[in-house]
Amino acid sequence: MSVSVLGVRHHGPGSARAVRRELERLRPDAILIEGPPEADALVTHAPGLEPPVALLAHVPGAPARAAFWPFAEFSPEWQAIRYGTSAGVPVRFCDLPAAHSLAGEPSDAEPGDQEPGGHEPGSQEPGQAGPDGRRPGGAGLDAPQPGMRGDPIGALAAAAGYDDPERWWEDVVEHRGGDTPFQVIAEAMAAVREGCRPDEREARREAYMRKTLRAAIKQGFGRIAVICGAWHVPALTGPLPSVTADNAVLRGLPKVKAELTWVPWTYGRLASWSGYGAGITSPGWYHHLFETPDRPVERWLAAAAAVLRDEGLAVSSAHVIESVRLAGSLAALRGRPLAGLGEVTEAARAVLCEGDDLAVELIQRRMVVGDRLGHVSDGTPMVPLQRDLRERQRRLKLKPEALDREIDLDLRKPLDLDRSHLLHGLRLLGVGWGTPGQARGKGTFRETWTLQWRPEHDLALIEHAALGTTVPTAAAQRARDLAGAPSAMLADLTSLVEQCLLADLPQALPGVLAALSAKAALDTDVTHLMAALPAMVRAHRYGDVRGTSADGLAVIVRSMLERICVGLPVAVTGLDDDAAADLLKHVDAVHSAVALLTDVPAGDAPPGAAHSDVVEEAGPGASPRGRWMVALRGISDRQDLHGLIEGRLTRILLDSGELGDAGDRMSRAMSRGQAPARAAAWVEGFLSGGGLLLVHDPRLLGLVDDWLTGLSGDQFTDVLPLLRRTFGGFAAPERRSIGERLRSAGRDDADRDQDLDEHRAAPAVATVLSIIGRTNG
């Protein structure tokens, strides 16, 4: 009976090649790998997986209790799994079970968990330990936590004259071409562990590893290979603690029900991982080293040149040759056996990129990290919701990808409409695979999405698996649950209605609309109603554009608008500057929304119509626009309004054709009897709709000009911030036109006549007369 313990770096190409060669030499009849033993049954699925992949352990019903164990093609553990499955050798995991490691409180859970409102799964604060008690910078060797004595890898590196532990490990192990000296590593780890006392968690893990090893020996396996982090090797070799001592360490551990499966992983997530992938900041580079043992530097720089050429940069073969020479020279100067990523990157920066940081960043993103996304086979254990999504992705031709991909959808096409329904339904489930963007072109029938698949999305699907077996049924149940939550606010419910229509969930709409109607009837804050109305109007409009039924929605919209019109006069009373600015945003949003509810053209009430005329038009059967205009007109005549509100209402009514005395109102607002600050606020509100009005209406421009020139120096200084904010919001052509109007306003008619060249103007006059059907006679 023989036991070979191979200490490795968890994601190291040199270690991976060495493990594969050592296993082929040893020909073991059992392989033990550091990892959760509940995953033993999942090993048989490994041949059908395409790394990077990860083991996902989670507690059903408790999404905060979850952990990932990622594997890449260049992971020694993955190579051991592939060897075992191909050679018919039993492969078992020997670390502490996930049922124990996930049993703690979420705040004290094993690294790799996702805490509510905290970091993403597996992410750690700088300096915290990773999933196996490792720290970033521990070279993935399961180095001890800060509470233990020092950094063993750092100590070995310092003894060898290195100031960078990562570079020392690469030179000693990863760049040796696959002949990793496992015995030497074991002796070195034993030396640095002397005097180090593992903490309670580390002791439990190593006790369980020894327990698994003893069980394998008891079952009659004669040649056992153990693949684990190099730090654990001394704990599994030499004089071992007694069975009684290990059982005492493991006695009384808390336990939960944990479920495990394989999920796709990405190199981007592997690069940001500070736990099981500690120290792996360049998975693309390591993948290249593993796949290309022959002349890796030359092939890497040639591939980098191809990436730059694809972006239109001029990179010749001479650039590649010179960059290879420079990388080799840097490695020789630094005493390295092979140019590492640092030397290769410096050579690429100096030669291929000619010092351009953007080009270097391109290489970093495309090659050093990489865009590889793993794949799991259909036979892998999945919840029905995951399988349904996979089938829909195939049918709708939406392939999950690790890098951002932008797609444009035309909702008039059935395929694109189904894609939109799927992406909106997933967002309702908390699966942010797609992020909506600003659609190109005009029309509500277009959508733009940015797609990026992240491993956490599988966890979200598992979390919501109890809601339904398909995306639509799960999303509909999620909508009903959200609508029934006591904490649901009015704005939340209106947004939920919109999401149901976007995701085509008619089965959820009745319950959500009922909850919305009940909440709207009880909410006495008019600003809540104003904040909720635009989403309701959009939902009503989407129901028309997408062909989705939204029965009852129009009734709720009109009821909400009626309550807004009744409550607005009270809401505009006694506002300070901040409250007025906030309310103004709601007024503008409601005004824009009301415009979508009616086809009544602007100008149905003639300019200058009396207030009573408008009221008569806005009778019981009035359109939403008519009712809204009546409310605004009634408020605009009040004398106690904040200047910002009064000015904006005047502008809205003027633009809508409901006001014929805007000039008189401006004259009163800017008279000398008004405080300069209020007059400036009035101007800001009035001009917030744009500055073209001043370009085309000389009287209004003259009123503003006379008011400004009549201010004293101190008064002008007081109102200058408001004026700067107002005029700074105008487009550059508008500001230029206003300035030209003001510059020409001081000229008299004689000056303008002198400026006119009748000879040069004659052809233009003749053309205009011809267009309007008159002759120059």
pLDDT tens profile 293-340: 889 999 999 999 999 999 899 999 999 999 999 999 999 998 888 888
Asked if the model's pLDDT at residue 402 lies above 70, the reply is: yes
Residue whose tokens read 């894609």: 419
Q: Cα-flanking dihedrals φ and ψ of residue 412, to 5°? A: -80, -15
Check: CB of residue 261 under 8 Å from CB of residue 459: no
Average pLDDT over residues 696-713: 78
171 falls in which pLDDT band (50, 70, 90)? confident
Looking at 464-618, list the stretches that DSSP marks H as alpha helix, in order from N- to C-terminal side: 471-483, 490-502, 509-522, 526-545, 553-571, 577-594, 611-617
**Hey, how many other C-beta atoms are within 10 angstroms of the C-beta on 700?**
19
Mean pLDDT throughout 609-613? Answer: 38
Banded model confidence at residue 609, pLDDT cuts 50, 70, 90: very low
In eight-state DSSP terms, residue 52 is S
* Local confidence band at 776 (pLDDT 50, 70, 90 cut-offs): low
Read off the pLDDT of each residue in 438-443 and give the average, rounded to a whole number.
63
pTM: 0.64
pLDDT of 149 reads 42
Tell me what pLDDT residue 458 has.
87
Cα gap 42→77, rounded to integer Å: 14
- Reported as a pLDDT band with limits 50, 70 and 90, residue 637 is confident
Higher pLDDT, 654 or 276: 654
Q: Rounded CA gap, 669 and 678, in Å?
A: 8
Q: Closest Cα to residue 14, out of 316, 273, 338, 467?
A: 338
- The DSSP H or E segment spanning 118 is none
The H or E element that residue 91 is part of is strand 91-93
Task: Report how far apart the first and last C-alpha atoms of the chain are (Å, whole number).
Answer: 120
Give the whole-number percent of the chain exceeding pLDDT 70. 84
Kindly state the average pLDDT of the residues 244-248: 94
Q: For 761-771, what is each residue's pLDDT tens digit? A: 888 888 888 88
Question: What local confidence, expressed as pLDDT, does residue 100 receive?
Answer: 93
- Asked if 251 and 32 count as a contact pair (C-beta separation under 8 A), the reply is no
Look at residue 170 and tell me whether its pLDDT is greater than 70. yes
What digits encode the pLDDT tens for the residues 346-395? 999 999 999 999 999 999 888 988 878 888 888 888 888 998 999 999 99
Predicted local distance difference test score (pLDDT) of residue 116: 26
Give the mean pLDDT of 679-700: 78
| 513-528 core/surface letters (b: 16 or more CB in 10 A; e: else) | bebbbebbeebeebbb
Task: pLDDT band for 732, please (50, 70, 90 cuts).
Answer: confident
Which residue, among 745, 749, 646, has the nearest Cα to 703 in the 3D structure?
Answer: 745
Mean pLDDT highest for which of 193-197, 419-423, 630-634? 419-423
- Mean pLDDT (the chain) is 80
Within a 10 A sphere around the Cβ of 655, how many other Cβ atoms?
A: 15
pLDDT in tens, 97-153: 999 999 875 444 443 333 322 223 233 222 323 333 333 333 455 544 433 445 667
Q: Which of 146-160, 164-178, 327-341, 734-748 has the lowest mean pLDDT?
A: 146-160
pLDDT at 32 exceeding the cut of 90: yes
Q: Give the mean model confidence (pLDDT) for residues 526-545.
A: 76
CB 20 within 8 A of CB 78: no
Q: Which of 74-88, 228-242, 310-324, 703-717 has the lowest mean pLDDT?
A: 703-717
Model pLDDT, residue 412: 87
Rounded Cα gap, residues 691 and 671, in angstroms: 21
Q: Considering only residues 273 and 383, tell me which one the structure prediction assigns the higher pLDDT.
A: 383
Per the CB < 8 A criterion, the answer to whether 274 and 123 are in contact is yes
Please check the confidence at residue 621 and state whether its pLDDT lies above 90: no
Range of 192-206, 619-633, 680-694 with top mean pLDDT: 192-206
* Section 454-481 average pLDDT: 88
Counting residues of the chain whose pLDDT is more than 90, the rounded percentage is 30
